[in-house]
Amino acid sequence: MTGLRGKQKTMRRQHILDATLKLLSKKMFSDISLQDIAAEADVTVPTIYNYFGSKSAVILELVLSRQEELSERMDAFITKRSHRDAQRALTDWVKLVTDGSFDTLDRDVWRSLYQERVRDDDLGPLFGKLSSFYVDRSVQFLDTLKQKQLIHAETDTKAAAKLLDAVCEHYFRLAIFYNAQSRSGHGDEIKAIVKELYRGLGSSKFLVS
The domains found in the chain, sorted by start residue, are 2-61 (1.10.357.10), 66-206 (1.10.357.10)
pLDDT of residue 83: 84
Mean pLDDT over the full length of the chain:
85
The answer to whether 66 touches 104, Cβ cutoff 8 Å, is: yes
The per-residue pLDDT for range 125-169, each reduced to its tens digit, is 888 888 899 999 999 999 999 999 888 888 899 999 999 999 998
Query: Rounded to an integer, what distance in angstroms lies between the CA atom of residue 156 and that of residue 162?
Result: 10
Give a three-class secondary structure readout of 141-209.
HHHHHHHCCCCCCCECHHHHHHHHHHHHHHHHHHHHHCCCCCCCCHHHHHHHHHHHHHHHCCCHHHECC
pLDDT tens, position by position, 95-128: 999 888 888 888 888 888 888 877 777 778 888 8
Instruction: Work out the pLDDT band at 1, boundaries 50, 70, 90.
Output: very low
Instruction: Tell me what pLDDT residue 94 has.
Output: 92
pTM reported for the whole predicted model: 0.81
Question: pLDDT band at residue 186, thresholds of 50, 70 and 90?
Answer: low
Whether the Cβ atoms of residue 164 and residue 90 lie closer than 8 Å to each other: yes
**Dmax (CA) of the chain:** 60
Least confident stretch, 51-55, 74-78, 142-146: 51-55
Per DSSP, the residues of 87-121 read HHHHHHHHHHHHHHGGGTS-HHHHHHHHHHHTT-G
φ, ψ of residue 5 to 5 degrees: the values are -65, -40
**Residue 207: strand pairing partners:** 155
- Integer Cα distance of 75 and 207 in angstroms: 25
